[in-house]
Amino acid sequence: MRFRLIIEYDGSAYNGWQIQNGQLTVQGEIEHALKQIFSDHIGIVGAGRTDTGVHARGQVAHFDLEYQTDPGKLLRSLNGILKTDIRIKDISLVNSNFHARYSAKLREYHYCIALQPTALLRDYSWHLTYNLDLKRMNKAAKGIAGRNDFTSFCRIKSEVNNHFCHIKKAQWLKKNDLLIFIIQADRFLHGMVRALVGTFVDVGRSKLNVADINDILRDKNRSLASQSAPARGLILEKIFY
């Protein structure tokens, strides 16, 4: 029997999603909680690997059991064991051909920039004092739409077969004293969204030109893009199937 989890977590205390020996991770904590319930190791598969310090509102994962269990009871048990910075929002029984990672069509991330000091969002936003030109940032965001090679916007040692991603949406919005970057793609590379945000900020403060985005993409050189934005402002918002 295959079960799907929808998971929300504050990534501040964790070394990312993916389980690592000797490191505190979100996947590791959930697998540990499942072992307490079923007295057996149950591996879970996530839709995407969030980096150290990155948060999620709609992470999706699946796991298999050889016997029946009540999803509602399991939901309550897991949330009773897990720390309060990880919450299981939903558990449902799904078809055995569902795969949290490979069945996903799109992934959506949000990045939050605070234009004024904030107490409530200090752990979930990047506070900037620069004057940022939103129109320039949105013009730059349009430059990454479609299918492109994002070598310039990922970690140099990323172990992937290719660096192509198809961007379906990339847009900056202003909500009061916040700037929200919304990006949807079929896949994301390690550190890609944070590198994009850092580069768009430099466009917004006129350190880079809008046209530079195309040049950075073309040249496939990480050193040409800007410094990555801090992890705390990034949230994995939703997975589309």
Both 152 and 45 in a single domain? no
Both 116 and 235 in a single domain? yes
φ and ψ at residue 50, rounded to 5 degrees: -80, 145
Both 84 and 123 in a single domain? no
pLDDT tens by residue, 31-48: 999 999 999 999 999 999
Sign of the C-alpha dihedral, residues 23, 234, 31, 154?
negative
Query: Is 219 tagged catalytic?
Result: no
Q: What is the pLDDT of residue 158?
A: 63
Closest CA relative to residue 225, chosen from 166, 159, 149, 164 = 149
Instruction: State the virtual CA torsion across 183, 188, 191, 195 in degrees, nearest 10.
Output: -40
In a 13 Å sphere around the CA of 2, the CA atoms on its Cβ side amount to 12
Both 226 and 116 in a single domain? yes
Q: Which CATH number goes with the domain that contains 191?
A: 3.30.70.660
Both 172 and 230 in a single domain? yes
Both 37 and 156 in a single domain? no
* Number of domains observed in the structure of the chain: 2
Q: Which of 43, 60, 94 is the last residue of a domain?
A: 94
Q: Which CATH number goes with the domain that contains 40?
A: 3.30.70.580
**Marked catalytic residue, from 51, 90, 133, 212:** 51
What's the whole-model pTM score?
Answer: 0.94
Domain extent, residue 113, equals: 106-240
Instruction: State the virtual CA torsion across 143, 147, 152, 156 in degrees, nearest 10.
Output: 160
pLDDT tens by residue, 117-146: 999 999 999 999 999 999 999 999 999 999
Q: Which residues pair with 178 in a beta bridge?
A: 114, 175
Both 120 and 204 in a single domain? yes
Burial 75-90 (b: 16+ CB within 10 A, else e): bebbeebbeeebebee
